[in-house]
Structure 1
């Protein structure tokens, strides 16, 4: 059987023969201590990882690249410094692949549902229905900060999906209250503008309520589209969204998000790809490893 390769000619992550060196293993072990059951690591700063691993900043960056190249890290969303948000740093997010073949032949921990539709772009989802001046302030932060915020929005949506999968959501109640608390803790500290400006211009107005509304609407939209399509009767303990990169090759309108669910449903296929577009399709696979490697890049499950 021909070995699958990456676009740059190196071995593809599924079944890759490269092994982790000592420093790489130490970093991966450190990340695993903070990962949830779906492999998502949030809120851990670079200083904490350096202290745990003994790596300097350059070596840490190199080892992250190494883990990405071998598919142990699906994607890395670099954090931003207080040069973006006044007085606040936002740590990186790491998406680990806990079903990587080199982690053992145990039964699948998680299952995968890939959903694609002709929907809102990232920036549209972040700014839709915001006042013009607030939307402009948000977009002016630039791609790095917007990427961080979009992945936060995906995590807030994941929180609602984890608690309401298979049932109707309520805009107000216990579950939304827990989301409001999460958003308040994380986003209230993020400010834009200059301290000498008046308070209304300095604080980031309306964004906390906006993120709550968008996360609620996104989770309800996904449930409406996916319930009945994936794993009848299954109730995951945890759902995590991995937004795929927007296409730069003429397919800009197709928005893709991968849902990692834990635990993998019993006696059902472990991987579903559903394209909700004219002429689209739904296909089931035994596991993520059965996906074509190019599709895994397209779906945001591997990073170049």
Structure 2
């Protein structure tokens, strides 16, 4: 999905720092092939986002799944994404040499991952894991309606149905017995799903913290907050508009992990932060008191 930010950077302005940092590296990627994969309406072929076999698949597993896609599925997915205009010339090998085309696509996707996304993966992964933790807490506290109504303004839940109001798209999908996989994304501006509704139901939604993943935004009342808490602690509190671990906070704020750990302890004892374990990571987030303090300062 990050391919979208290169096709229309102004629409994904929050990711312009990534564009600036990585533009020179695109010379090492078969960019025309990646561009060809994005249909005229911005659709991506479904087979590029295989259903995850495990909760945290790695890039090698994902590319293996893409490479193993049935050839008739590849042809159909490419045509679904292309629309009435037909296949891009770079993709016409789907009819004559689908195995070769899949090899070319997966090799190019691996190059793109290695050069563009992998250098930033620890930060991106931390943001995604923080979103998952937030959604889990939201579901526990507010139930399904509170969860879905908070994800995206075009989504709503009621009477056992999840409704997505997207102009121009009309479809009804019965997920009974099939489940529905929700996946946070840092690179979509709204909820998106697969083109082929016969596939296992899956929905991507905009992850929290997308706007700050490339840096910390300075709050209008930064000096007042620093006067109250001290500059480092105020920066930590401001940065925690999404749950983060100690290492990621240290990286974002250019502080030592030891110093960050001490500040987190003080803020936690003051009732401004909560800590929770997510897998092997301990994530910190603002408490209700911490949120109230931030709202007063801004």
TM-score class normalised by the smaller sequence: under 0.3
Normalised TM-score (structure 1)? 0.28
Structure in which a larger fraction of residues adopt strand: 1
Structure in which a larger fraction of residues adopt helix: 2
- Structure 1 or 2, whichever has the larger Rg, is 2
